[in-house]
Chain A
């Protein structure tokens, strides 16, 4: 069985202008939503208390909320979590009240009405911890970018490093844009997903670059655009199948992983889809525009690493 038996190279580079515009628009939209709507940060980043409760039967968040409001937790936020009988209560940080007292009194209040509530999870994050997680996350992001760029610059050429990182930042910003637009909760696990998308989708660019280098050696007379077109066409089958396989697992997480892994899998799904697109139609045109030529690849024998 084979999905892709392409006789001719697809002239991807001639579409470059239109895809660039498309990318620019999506990117701009993502930034717009990030600024106007902002990310819906989880308690891990903002600080506060989260309580997950399991009711014996389906329960409406409004009823739970009104119980809490009458008991003095006016700024609580209540929603169903995963199933109709699971409830998630969010409480903002309150100066002077310890986490211990807060979660206990919430539980007591709700149990007074319905004694057989099961406590599933309590999370309390103090303000300083939240701030640290934000900085640590930002540092990790910067470090991953720098590390990947350095590696690519060392392994290929700076033009490739720049192209790959632009393509990947494009993916990351778009994932964040989705999270901002839909107000999906951005938690630590989602951050982990975003960062692993960064490492994962850069692969895609690496595979195409590898092929471009090989083609430069093989086809001495072809133009740069043709060489890139051929490289993309030749690796397309692998691109689709690999990402398809990863997506199979991610879809499995989306269905079976429960509420905790749901947003993680969502971030990966968006990352994988845009990863395919950006590695083919964002990073390669950038390489072209940055003026990569044969001379950048065919270094004197012995110094260039053997491409695969």
Chain B
């Protein structure tokens, strides 16, 4: 009665081997590495870059353990922290500002493990050190600013419809338009309903109308504002040289920024909190010839100009100081295709004021170039400098040039995201020093280890051979749990390690239940074989019940826990699942293999 069919042993063995395989990468130490990723749309991480990196390292005779290209970045494993620092300096000079060359720690596990998806567990910031920011986007201010900008639109629509208006004011969440009398008010209402589609028009009294953004417009504005902020933050984080930054939206109006390994928090906060702006200016075509630019490179250029290098083509340019438009006037930007040439372009929409200025400027400057600049901390960068082909009226601008689909998308995003759409405020900050992270790992691991040893000793003495099997099953449970965590790449935090320890302490319950049942059946005079059988069978319902209640608690914690609590709960729930398998099937397999074959079993060691 205590025999498993062969396939069952095979399945259990296979699961054990898989568990071993996927927890294996965690055993390898982390080695210093340098990670190269692209900092902006212009730079691409490809095999050409990899060759250059390899050659440069060879030239400076920096010993390399391995170079691999993974997930859009090049990872160079190095022998020690000294080689790491040297390599970073060499590569940063080689690749320039278009690439982020960051220090990182990478697992020294052999590449074939990574190829089958076996990676070490993903450690949270409290274990590897770094900075965590939760930023709140001030949507109200953003909406207010947006409404202010719409005042011009309202006036323009009414002017086009030739409806006289007494005043437009921003009051609370809406714009209030005042008219002289009821007739002009009703004319104005019709014009506004036609001209401004994303706002609802409501009559306040005889002479006044109120315009407020409809729900859909409000939502899309919020989404866009948040998306812009995320992108801006990402661009800024690139400057910090962080190997694996996480910048993502959380909820409707929050952004999470995680910078593993960053120690200089003051700089991180400074860079994240800065404001950037977009400017559109004219290129100084009178001084665009070779000699003038060569002189400019030496610092000799007209006082009304600024000198910029490194636009998209890497060409130096002299750009007039006078600002035509700022990013405030860009209401949207999207990548698209030119309907005739079918080449990728960037479509930019300007607001009413912007359109007017743009029309008059382009009328006077056909054939000349205008530059779009991103200004951050007083330092400008030319995003693109297209030629004006014709007069552009109506505020729909198409920028064409040597775009690829990807770079068109990036420029569109940059135009949208050059400045923060809405102000942000840090509402939660956690900084963990590297020594604390390492300490936390050691402390957590010691807790698990000594807890496990204590249980193992007790179980083996108290339940003898069966207890030993229970201990081995418990070991298998830890193995499965670690393998699962590595496979899912769930973030492991210190509370997560506590949950592993707790899982060890709680998973043994199933085996205690089974072993107590076996003893009880033996006391009642059952034969050893029958006692084993009854023990496993009868304990099952109880094990299931107790795990379900634990699981309910775990799921509620995942749903409503935040940060450390969530990390704890995820591990706890996974541990419950793996313990069901190991405590029941793995321990039974060992018992069956040992005792199941003996037909006349007189005694079992329990």
A121 partner, pick from B436, B455, B549, beta carbons under 8 A: B436
B596 contacts A by Cβ under 8 Å = no
A253 engages B498 (CB within 8 Å): yes
A147 to B557, CA, bound (A): 12
Is A246 a contact of B502 with CB atoms below 8 Å?
yes
Binary B-proximity of A235-253 (CB < 8 A = 1, otherwise 0): 1011001101111111111
Is the C-beta of A2 less than 8 angstroms from some C-beta in chain B?
yes
**Contacts known (A100-B429, A123-B430, A249-B502); A136 close to B447, Cβ less than 8 A:** no
Q: Is residue A258 within 8 Å, beta carbon to beta carbon, of the partner chain? A: yes
- B543-602 interface with A by 8 A CB criterion: 543, 545-546, 548-557, 559-565, 568-569, 572
Q: Is the CB of B427 within 8 A of A143?
A: no
The CA of A250 and the CA of B563, in the complex, are separated in Å by 22
Asked if B427 and A129 make an inter-chain contact with CB atoms under 8 angstroms apart, the answer reads yes
| B541–A124 CB distance below 8 A | no
Residues of A close to B381: CB separation below 8 A: none
CA distance A120 to B430 in the complex (A): 11
Known: A100-B269, A155-B545. Contact between A139 and B447, CB under 8 A?
A: no
Place the interface of chain A in its size category: 35 or more
Which positions 56-86 of chain A face chain B at CB distance < 8 Å? none
Q: Does A98 contact B (CB under 8 A)?
A: yes
The reply to whether A238 and B568 form a contact with Cβ atoms under 8 Å apart is: no
Do residues B431 and A119 form an inter-chain contact, with CB atoms below 8 A? yes
Check B430–A253 contact: CB distance below 8 A: no
Partner-binding segment picked from B18-26, B367-375, B437-445: B437-445
Contact B552 A147 (CB under 8 A): yes
Kindly specify which of A220-228, A281-289, A300-308 makes contact with the partner chain. Answer: A300-308
**Contact status A207-B495, CB under 8 Å:** no
- How many chain B residues touch the partner (CB < 8 A)? 79
Contact A192 B569 (CB under 8 A): yes
Taking a contact as CB atoms closer than 8 A, the residue among A126, A144, A249 that contacts B501 in the complex is: A249
Q: Is the CB of A195 within 8 A of B556?
A: yes
Whether a CB of chain A sits under 8 angstroms from the CB of B104 is no
Q: Which residues of B contact A133 (CB under 8 A)?
A: 562
B201 within 8 A of A: no
In the complex the two chains form, is B433's CB within 8 Å of A119's CB? yes
The main secondary structure of chain A at its interface with chain B is: helix
| Shortest Cβ distance from residue B330 to the other chain A in the assembled complex, whole angstroms | 29
**Chain A contacts for B561, CB-based, 8 A:** 136, 140, 188, 192
Residue-wise, chain A 124-136 has the 8 Å CB interface mask toward B (1 for contact) of 1110110011001
Q: Provide the bound-state CA to CA distance between A173 and B153, in Å.
A: 61
B523-559: CB near A (< 8 Å → 1, else 0) gives: 0000000000000011111110110111111111101
Query: B560–A261 contact, CB under 8 A?
Result: no
A52 interface residue per 8 A CB criterion? yes
Contacts of A188 in B (CB 8 A): 561-565
Residues of chain A lying within 8 A (CB to CB) of residue B269:
100
What CA separation (Å) do A191 and B562 show in the bound complex? 11
| B494 closest partner in A (C-beta) | A260
A206 in complex: contacting residue of B539, B540, B542, CB < 8 Å: B542
| Contact, CB under 8 Å: A253 / B501 | yes
Q: Which of A100, A241, A248, A260 contacts B516 (CB 8 A)?
A: A241
Q: Could you tell me if B513 and A253 are in contact, using CB atoms closer than 8 angstroms?
A: no
Q: Which of B505, B564, B568 has the most CB of A within 10 A?
A: B505
Q: Which of A195, A198, A245, A261 touches B509 (beta carbons < 8 Å)?
A: A245
Cα distance, A103 to B430, chains bound together (Å): 11
When C-beta atoms are compared, the residue in chain B nearest to A197 turns out to be B553
Task: Answer yes or no: A210 CB below 8 A from chain B CBs.
Answer: yes
B519 at interface by CB-CB < 8 Å = yes
**Contact at A249–B451, with CB atoms within 8 Å?**
yes
Known contacts: A241-B512, A308-B542. The answer to whether A257 contacts B560 by CB under 8 A is: no
Contact of B502 among A103, A147, A155, A196 (CB under 8 A): A196
Which residues of chain A from 107 to 166 have any CB-CB distance to chain B below 8 Å in the complex? Answer: 118-126, 128-129, 132-133, 136-137, 139-140, 143-144, 147-148, 151-152, 155
CB of A200 closer than 8 Å to a CB of B: yes
B446 at the interface (CB under 8 A from A): yes
CB nearest neighbor in A for B493 = A189
A128 in contact with B443 (CB, 8 Å): no
Does A199 count as interface, using CB distance less than 8 angstroms? Answer: yes
Tell me if B540 and A308 are in contact (CB < 8 A). Answer: yes
Residues of B within 8 A of A136 (CB): 560-562
Q: Nearest B residue to A98 by beta-carbon distance?
A: B426
What residues of chain B lie closer than 8 Å to A308, measured between beta carbons?
Answer: 537-543
B4 at the interface (CB under 8 A from A): no
Q: Whole-angstrom distance between the alpha carbons of A122 and B554 in the complex?
A: 28
The answer to whether A121 and B495 have CB atoms under 8 Å apart is no
B136 lies within 8 A of chain A by Cβ: yes
Whether the pair A234, B435 counts as a contact (CB closer than 8 A) is: no
Judge whether A19 is part of the interface by a CB distance below 8 angstroms.
no
Interchain CB contact under 8 A, A129 and B428: yes
| A contact residues around B425 at 8 Å (CB) | 98, 126
**Would B549 and A203 count as touching, CB distance under 8 A?**
yes
Q: A100's closest neighbor in chain B, by CB?
A: B269
Q: Which B residues are in CB contact (< 8 Å) with A54?
A: 435
Interfacial chain A residues near B545, Cβ < 8 Å? 155, 203, 206-207, 210
Quick check: A261 and B553 within 8 Å, CB to CB? no
Residues of B within 8 A of A129 (CB): 134, 427-428
Give me the 7 closest cross-chain CB pairs, A-B, nearest first. A199-B553, A249-B451, A308-B541, A249-B505, A126-B427, A203-B546, A246-B505
Additional A-B contact list (8), CB under 8 Å, known A136-B561, A248-B505, A260-B440: A121-B436, A140-B556, A151-B549, A196-B553, A248-B451, A253-B501, A308-B538, A308-B539
30 A-B pairs (CB sep. < 8 Å): A1-B461, A2-B519, A103-B265, A118-B433, A120-B436, A121-B432, A122-B265, A125-B428, A140-B557, A147-B555, A151-B548, A191-B565, A192-B557, A195-B553, A195-B556, A196-B502, A202-B546, A203-B509, A206-B545, A249-B454, A249-B455, A250-B451, A250-B502, A252-B451, A256-B443, A257-B447, A261-B443, A261-B494, A261-B498, A268-B502
